[in-house]
Amino acid sequence: MNGPETGGDARLPLPDLDTTLPNGLRVVLCSAPVVPLVEIRLTVPYAATGPGEVALRQLLAGLLLQGTAHRDADAFDTALATHGAALTAVADAHRFTVTGHTLADSLPAVLALLAETVLTPRLTEDVVAPERARLARRIELSSHQPAAVAQQALLRRRYGDEAAARRSPDPQLAAACTPDDLAELHERHLGAAGAQLVLVGDLRPEDALAAVTDVFGAWRTGAQDDVPQAPPPFTGGPMLWVDRPGAVQSMIRLATPALPRTDPGYPALHLAQLVFGGSFASRLVAHLREEKGYAYQLGSGMESLPGASTLMIEADSAAEHTAPALAVIRGELERMAAEPPSEAEVDAARSYATGSIATAMSSPASLASGLANLLHIGVGADWLHGWGPMLDGVPHEAVTEAAKRFFRPGGFTGVVVADASAVAPLRRGAGSAELDF
């Protein structure tokens, strides 16, 4: 993997330090003095068990940076800003994440502020009430975004209503949430066990670790069994149509269960995926965009969660091009078995996969996000470092096998969010939302 045309020399650095504090907080530090800043990623994983509970986590996340037991929201935010720091907290079905950066000189002070809000958030009614209203508006706002509509529909298609509901927020639940509920939620889900703090940037690892230990050493361990559950496997099946009256473009989303990132077969599957639709040179992009002009934004990709991953195909296509675009997608899926990836295609995918991840991770911000995501899905901090050699070791036949196994059209299910006119030729009868694919 060396030489001027492959990018194989761009191997990513190993973290300088990867350690776990006695309370269970894993700390991963990486020195990358590109600009005088440090990127901060804190992840606290958990298991969401009931429908709509995500909204409660989102409410808590929304409150995390709105002051602490010791200072109000303005004082807290001004303190952060004075250090050039910005932090945002979000929650989904699997984790809280706090993402941000600070001027390098201020790292200890900003870590102290981060610990203050994570350990002792201000959960009084005067702060909670406006945040509840804000969350409800945000949920409503996203309910009109076509991409969010498609994502929700695809979750329901993949997992059924009940399991999908565990991954979706319920604003009603948040509306009834009291400060006491939040205190309990905080106690139950925001502990150090299983949490990860990634710092990347202009830092000295030993100094940064000392600063982390200083402010997070006293963080209580919390529940040890509060860990994300791998989503249930789902099966292929007909695509479902979701009506969006007046839509001038249809959102096509297809999914099939794939291999978790930790599986030895993952690299071969990833290469097959790049040949199919995961790069600009891929078959799908070449055919659907560069030949037909049926889509601007499209492609395939792997969505990874703890213990599972999904192979996704996405394309947004004009209402009148929806049926032919789906036919192209299906045709390219069938071709993966009929004409498996050639040596040349696999080699191109391999050098792209190796080099582009190093390119993409060359900014401290993306390296920090990349590391945090990898740790969350259960692979080591050295995974990025080993990615190139791992890909080098994949035999061509393994990619062929993956192409045959994972790209069968029947293995996919999905949704099309569209105006009725776009899907009329595909519907399996009046009253049916199922589509021929």
Return the residues of window 23-42 that contact another protein according to CB under 8 A.
Answer: 32-37
The nearer residue to another protein, 88 or 235, going by C-beta atoms, is: 88
The residue from 22, 233, 245, 431 that contacts another protein (CB under 8 A) is 245
Query: Cβ of residue 47: shortest distance to another protein, in angstroms?
Result: 29
Determine the distance from the C-alpha atom of residue 209 to the mean position of all C-alpha atoms in its chain, rounded to a whole number.
27
- Part of the chain binding another protein (CB under 8 A), chosen from 99-107, 261-269, 402-410, 427-435: 99-107
Distance between CA 30 and CA 13 in Å, rounded? 8
Q: Decide: is 176 part of the binding site for another protein (CB under 8 A).
A: no
Query: Which of residues 4, 22, 233, 429 is near another protein by CB under 8 A?
Result: 4
Q: Are strands 95-103 and 86-91 parallel, antiparallel or unpaired?
A: antiparallel
Pairing assessment for the beta strands 37-45 and 196-201 based on DSSP bridges: antiparallel
Q: Is 173 in the site for another protein (CB under 8 A)?
A: no
101 binds another protein (CB under 8 A): yes
Q: Which stretch binds another protein (CB under 8 A): 209-217, 317-325, 328-336, 372-380?
A: 317-325
Q: Which is nearer to another protein, 192 or 295 (CB)?
A: 295
Least distance from C-beta 178 to another protein, angstroms? 17
**169 forms part of the interface with another protein (CB under 8 A):** no
15 vs 191, beta carbon nearer another protein: 15
Give the whole-angstrom CA distance, residue 47 versus residue 390.
31
373 binds another protein (CB under 8 A): no
Give 279 or 300: the residue with its C-beta nearer to another protein. Answer: 279
Segment 321-360, which members bind another protein (CB under 8 A)? 321, 348, 351-352, 354-356, 358-360
Are 375 and 196 contacting, i.e. CB atoms less than 8 angstroms apart?
yes
Rg (CA), the chain: 23
Burial 73-112 (b: 16+ CB within 10 A, else e): beebbebbeebebebebebbbbbbbbbbbbbbebbbbbbe
Answer for which of 14, 136, 302, 433 binds another protein (CB under 8 A) is 136
Q: Tell the smallest beta-carbon distance from residue 133 to another protein (Å).
A: 4
Return d(Cα 169, Cα 189) in angstroms, integer. 17
Among 166, 167, 253, 289, contact with another protein (rule: CB under 8 A):
289
What angle is formed at CA 233 by the lines to CA 241 and CA 170, rounded to 5 degrees?
Answer: 60
User: What 8-state DSSP symbol labels residue 291?
Assistant: I
Among 19, 23, 363, 373, binds another protein (CB under 8 A): 363
Give whichever of 4 and 233 is closer to another protein, judged by the CB atom: 4
Give yes or no for residue 431 binding another protein (CB under 8 A): no
Candidate list 184, 187, 291, 334; residue touching another protein; CB under 8 A: 291
Interface with another protein (CB under 8 A), residue from 119, 173, 286, 302? 286
Interaction between residue 47 and another protein (CB under 8 A): no
Label residue 386 exposed, middle or buried (CB < 10 Å: 0-12, 13-18, 19+). middle
Which run of H or E residues covers position 157? Answer: helix 146-166
Pick one of 23, 71, 83, 380: the residue that binds another protein (CB under 8 A).
Answer: 83
Beta-carbon contacts of residue 56 (< 8 Å; ≥ 6 apart) = 173, 174, 177, 181, 182, 185
Residue 8 sits in the site that holds another protein (CB under 8 A): yes
Q: How far is the CB of 245 from another protein (least distance, A)?
A: 4
Q: Which of 22, 246, 429, 431 binds another protein (CB under 8 A)?
A: 246
Q: Work out whether 302 is an interface residue with another protein (CB under 8 A).
A: no
| Residue 321 DSSP one-character state | G
Pattern 261-280, binding to another protein, x per CB under 8 A?
A: ------------------xx
Question: Could you tell me the end-to-end alpha-carbon distance of the chain, in angstroms, rounded to an integer?
Answer: 40
DSSP states of 45-94 = E----STTTHHHHHHHHHHHTS-BSSS-HHHHHHHHHHTT-EEEEEE-SS
- Strand partners for 27: 19, 197
